Amino acid sequence: MAVQQRSAFQQLQKKEISLDEAIKLLVNANKDLDLGYLDQQLITSMKPNWPRDKALPLVFSENTLYVACSEEQPDAMADALSPLVNNFKVVLVKVNKASFAKAVNPAPKVATTPNGKPAPAPEKKKNILGADLQKTIEAIPAKVIDATDENAIGREVRDLMGNAAKVGCSDIHFEPSEKFLIVRYRIDGVLRDICKYPCSEQADYRKIMIARIKIIADLNIAESRIPQDGRVTEIVNGNKLDLRVSTLPTLYGEKCVIRLLPHENSFTELSNLGMEQDMIPEYESWLGMSQGMVLITGPTGSGKTSTLYTSLAKLVDTTRNVVTVEDPVEFQLARVNQVQVNVKAGLTFASGLRSILRQDPDIVMVGEIRDKETAEIAIQAALTGHLVLSTLHTNDAPSTVTRLIDMGVQPYLVASALVGVVAQRLLRRVCQHCYEDYTATPEELRILGQPEGTQLTLVRAKGCQNCNNTGYSGREGVFEIMHVNREIKRVIQEGASLEKIRNIMTGNNVKSLYDVAVEKIINKKSTIEELLRVVTKDE
Ligand SMILES: [Zn+2]
């Protein structure tokens, strides 16, 4: 057999071999699995709850994932795996038991590379089989509680909620895995493992604790096969917590996520969000307009909602009718009429917006523009005497224009309605108690666009008690603001190429997201790791 360096999946992707040939390379006629042709990238791309000891992804082709498993596994495993890969079809390729066991638990002494030489790096083998991820589970502190004591379970769940609120966690994840129920907190936008509950037949916390949470959130505990969601207010340690609870059936049971919603008005000043002082007057002038559209853009978790609420809070007064249509209503604002999208009942962004416009509004906030219909109604409203605020998912401010046009909105309508666009990201602020100074390396100077040889002090995250050992505490918005001035309006009407809009912005000395983020790194507000995690240079 020819020596082969590349995985069967890679060869298939390059169309050098057919799907049949790829499978034959991986699994021979004796049903032996050839480890040399496995695709490490494909394997490591599986979600953490993928059962690495039972199923080994081989190739992905035409919306179908081909997965090796031991011949003793039931055919039904394919259906159980499908939800873990966004419901793509899963086809099982059964291999003989011994060969599969060897693939999952390789004896170190027989490990060889595809070209027959002894494997120099045993870590690589482990990585193939998800052993590194397995280790991360081992490292999570295990907790045991009396599974027969209803009160103890209830206390445990409430403790998890109380501690979450204390450390500024936005979401609590309860993740069923093969042997544990794992709990993770999202703090400042990043998930971290908190604890795990070892599960046995007598004490299956994957069922017991999730059932308890479902009772608290008034969900149907008899139903575990379909996703559910609900909202509840709980008093924990004397603090009122607004919670949004959702469940999702996964391979090892229902996964549950509790979102902790802010219930006090934390949306006060744009400068508190991290908007640069020199941008605020410009942005506030947009909000002062009696008609037109202002868009906030960025990926999920970039702080768009906070910016929208802060903006709305500035606009609410006794003389104006402010109406929103949101999915979900994340925070209740005084004197604002908030409408919750309910797709099942036929209340969508588009239909809700249409009804709002019959109710004599002055200011309308649409949670998100996802489709042409919503975009067109929103633009129509913006052209007929209403100030419309909304969000869109694009990488930067100029792309918002092209996105609207791609949705099918006429360029002249975009040009007439759009007042301005804010693009944003959130950088984690380095913890003020424990950060360390250091001198930037030549590579870092290059990333930051600084001249070679510059003496520049940057900060590094370390971790202490104040920041839960993350090295970061709180977050800071990074903003790019694009005023749609006459020059940009003209370019939009002419069919707007992204490049042209960007050139105009550069010509007008508008700072890009990247430029603003770099300034924050140089001002020691955050680290270069955060910069690279959150913003890419081409944006
Ligand atoms: Zn710290």
Which of the four pLDDT bands, split at 50, 70 and 90, describes residue 129? low
Distance from C-alpha of 378 to C-alpha of 360, rounded to nearest angstrom: 15
- pLDDT tens-digit series, residues 325-356: 998 888 888 889 999 998 888 999 999 999 99
CA 468 to ligand 1 centroid distance, Å? 7
CA 464 to ligand 1 centroid distance, Å? 4
Which of the four pLDDT bands, split at 50, 70 and 90, describes residue 124? very low
CA 534 to ligand 1 centroid distance, Å? 20
Distance from C-alpha of 431 to C-alpha of 476, rounded to nearest angstrom: 12
CA 465 to ligand 1 centroid distance, Å? 6
Residues ≥6 apart with Cβ < 8 Å to 103: 33, 35, 38, 56, 68, 95, 129
pLDDT of residue 87: 74
Residues ≥6 apart with Cβ < 8 Å to 59: 8, 9, 12, 19, 22, 23, 26, 39, 42, 65, 66
CA angle 404, 409, 412 (to 5 degrees): 100
CA 466 to ligand 1 centroid distance, Å? 5
pTM, two decimals, is 0.65
Which tokens in the block code for residue 159? 């403790």
CA 430 to ligand 1 centroid distance, Å? 8
Instruction: Please determine, for residue 167, whether its predicted confidence score (pLDDT) is greater than 70.
Output: yes
- Residue (of 60, 65, 122, 55) closest to 94 by Cα position: 55
Measured over the CA atoms of residue 99, residue 103, residue 109 and residue 113, the dihedral's sign is positive
CA 234 to ligand 1 centroid distance, Å? 30
pLDDT of residue 263: 60
pLDDT of residue 409: 94
Phi-psi label, residue 168: left if phi above 0, alpha if psi -120 to 50, beta otherwise: left
- pLDDT tens-digit series, residues 277-322: 999 999 999 999 999 999 999 998 899 988 999 999 888 888 899 9
CA 106 to ligand 1 centroid distance, Å? 41
pLDDT of residue 4: 44
Supply the mean pLDDT for the chain: 88
CA 463 to ligand 1 centroid distance, Å? 4
Beta bridge partners of 379: none
- pLDDT tens-digit series, residues 53-101: 889 999 988 778 899 999 888 888 888 888 887 777 899 999 998 888 8
CA 243 to ligand 1 centroid distance, Å? 28
Which tokens in the block code for residue 424? 């944003």
CA 187 to ligand 1 centroid distance, Å? 14
CA 461 to ligand 1 centroid distance, Å? 8
CA dist list (Å): 41 to 8, 57, 220: 12, 10, 39
Q: Tell me the percentage of the chain whose pLDDT exceeds 90.
A: 58
CA 473 to ligand 1 centroid distance, Å? 7
CA 460 to ligand 1 centroid distance, Å? 11
Segment 140-161 mean pLDDT: 91
Full DSSP string of 242-268: EEEEEEEEETTEEEEEEEEE--S----
CA 435 to ligand 1 centroid distance, Å? 7
Measured over the CA atoms of residue 37, residue 39, residue 44 and residue 47, the dihedral's sign is negative
Query: Of 272 and 194, which is predicted with more confidence?
Result: 194
CA 271 to ligand 1 centroid distance, Å? 23
CA 160 to ligand 1 centroid distance, Å? 22
CA 436 to ligand 1 centroid distance, Å? 10
Segment 30-49 mean pLDDT: 82
Q: How many CB atoms lie within 10 A of CB 115?
A: 9
